[in-house]
Amino acid sequence: MATQDALLVVHGGGPTAVINASLFGAVDEALKTPGVGRVLGALGGMGGITDGTFVDFAQVSPEKLSLLPSSPSSAIGTSRKPLEADDYRDLAHALERAGVRWLLPTGGNGTMNTCGEIWRACQAEGVSIDVVGIPKTMDNDIAVTDHAPGYASAALYMAASVSEVCCDVRGLPIHIVIVEAMGRNAGWVTAASALADESGTGGPDLIYLPEREFDEHAFLDDCQRLIDEKGSGVVVVSEGLHKTGGGPVAPILMQTGRSTYFGDVSAHLSRLVISELGYKSRSEKPGLLGRASMPWQSTIDRNEAIECGREAVRAVLAGDSGKMVGIERLSTSPYEVRYTRIPIEQVMLDERTLPDAYINEQGNGVTDEFRAWCRPLLGEPLRRFASFV
């Protein structure tokens, strides 16, 4: 059995624009900390642990490591492999055989659940491994923390991209354009599109969030109003919209564990405008383009991701196991946060959705309270555009 002196980072779930920034923070902190032997990354997610496929970061050049904060997706790979009770016990012993003393899983709700289960399995099996989770999700649906690394960049991408769509529609006001945002059951990314109006030429006319039941008749009435008043409009919808009773707006294509492959909501609603209102409509679905976009990576997001990685190393080396690094907002203006350590049981599979105070009374937009909360995360103001129409 290998000497138990290794620190291992493993990624889980969907990539983001800053998951590699967290990896950089953790690796850089660990490499310069006395007492840590090997600093490893599991290749391909949890499967890398059971297969014993690791990258040794001591063998990676500083020049290549420096690229991590500005590299999209996951440089060490990731996965969404479903795990059963026996798998956690097997992972605990696989980590022990590999000489891992400290484990840092990086991911969202599912990965934080895995983090907690591995920690419990290590305790139950008498395996001396400390575990601390690093939060990561563009969906921003992890509980307790103010926000998670990955969200701010996705929010910036959505706000900036929708601002450009709004300019396009303003210049040629002949249709209703429906933009679909990722985020599953949480509307955080969808809501961020409201900040598109910082461009100076208007933002989306309507925003529909999964935290509210979707009424097709009310939606069509809203669209008809836009047609009557402006001849056009921009509508942003969440991929997780659901009807009264919980049924999806567009049929779900596939469900595997916690992973839901939603039907094309924007295309469905665009066809509805055409068929029911007899008016031109287009659908746009950025999808993966907005999940890990480097041109729209938020500087705030990148810096916070790096610090979350560093804090996780500090926590796990201090023996503060069974925790997840959190971000606590101390002030919105000026923006100030501190990094906390949250008991993992408070986070495991607890989905955090948009609170009522952030959604307008009509259920087709957001409030100023949300805008004030979201604005600092984007960093610099959006580029402003000229318009004379």
Catalytic residues: 139
Choose among 44, 73, 71, 81: nearest CA to 136.
73
Is 239 annotated in a binding site? The answer is yes
Is 52 annotated in a binding site? The answer is no
* Separation between Cα atoms, residue 371 and residue 195, nearest integer Å: 7
* Separation between Cα atoms, residue 383 and residue 2, nearest integer Å: 54
Is 108 annotated in a binding site? The answer is no
* Separation between Cα atoms, residue 306 and residue 44, nearest integer Å: 21
- The answer to whether the CB of 237 falls within 8 A of the CB of 269 is yes
Is 303 annotated in a binding site? The answer is no
Is 33 annotated in a binding site? The answer is no
Is 221 annotated in a binding site? The answer is no
- The answer to whether the CB of 98 falls within 8 A of the CB of 52 is yes
- The answer to whether the CB of 125 falls within 8 A of the CB of 92 is yes
Choose among 370, 377, 341: nearest CA to 353.
370
- The answer to whether the CB of 17 falls within 8 A of the CB of 70 is no
Location of structure tokens 């492959």: 261
Is 183 annotated in a binding site? The answer is yes
According to DSSP, residue 386 is labeled -
Is 371 annotated in a binding site? The answer is no
Ramachandran bin of 354, using left for φ above 0, alpha for ψ from -120 to 50, beta for the remaining angles? beta
CA angle 277, 283, 288 (to 5 degrees): 155
Tokens of 73: 């997706």
Is 182 annotated in a binding site? The answer is yes
* Separation between Cα atoms, residue 250 and residue 383, nearest integer Å: 34
Binding-site annotation: residue ranges for diphosphate: 14
Binding-site annotation: residue ranges: 14, 109, 137-139, 182-184, 239
Binding-site annotation: residue ranges for substrate: 137-139, 182-184, 239
Binding-site annotation: residue ranges for Mg(2+): 109
